[in-house]
Amino acid sequence: MNTQSERIVDFIASLMPLYTGQNTDGRRCAVSLIDGTVIAPIANQGDDEAGGRDGRNVGDVVVGGDDDDWVAVYWQGDRSRRTEVQGSLIAGQALLRYIELRGVGRSADELRRERDGLAEHFAFKTGASLYLAEGYEEPELQRMLRKAVSKLGPAVVAGLLRKAVGL
């Protein structure tokens, strides 16, 4: 992959089973296996498809100055429903959905480690950084109780807590 946009699209396409890679109009694209949305790299800076040389016009405001990390999103694969967005923003959403799918039954710590590891892998593969909002961190006492319940069972833990508080 040559451009950052192409590397971002390739990363998203690797998030199986949510996305797959597909060649469309001579470009490698990521296709959502849920709704058919196509994410395509923006071909060249300054061409008509990319929408400008120095950034994106949003109203009267120019957003960003580097076209290399922008992608085109064709919602449900419909060419008339096109949005241009920074690739790292849509990749962050794709990555979080991927972790959510794979994370059923796993602890918050495991999910956070996987998120951080995949974010580092994304940066290594693409040269871009993901925006990932900090999530909920489980309090230490709650984490300890959850572990105790999983090892000893809820009835034993409830009995120990009653004795500890004098009930």
Taken in order 2, 58, 85, 65, the sign of the CA dihedral is positive
**pTM greater than the 0.75 cutoff:** no
pLDDT tens for the chain, 167 residues: list them. 489 999 999 999 999 999 999 998 889 999 999 999 999 999 755 444 444 434 443 332 333 445 578 999 999 999 999 999 999 999 999 999 999 898 888 888 898 899 999 999 999 999 999 877 666 666 777 778 888 888 888 888 888 888 888 77
Helices of type H across 20-165:
87-102, 108-126, 140-152, 154-165
Tell me how far apart the alpha carbons of residues 54 and 2 are, in angstroms, rounded to a whole number. 20
- 3-state SS assignment for residue 122: helix
Could you tell me how many residues make up the chain?
Answer: 167
Closest CA to 82 of 56, 49, 52, 34: 49
What is the token pair recorded at 151? 């090892």
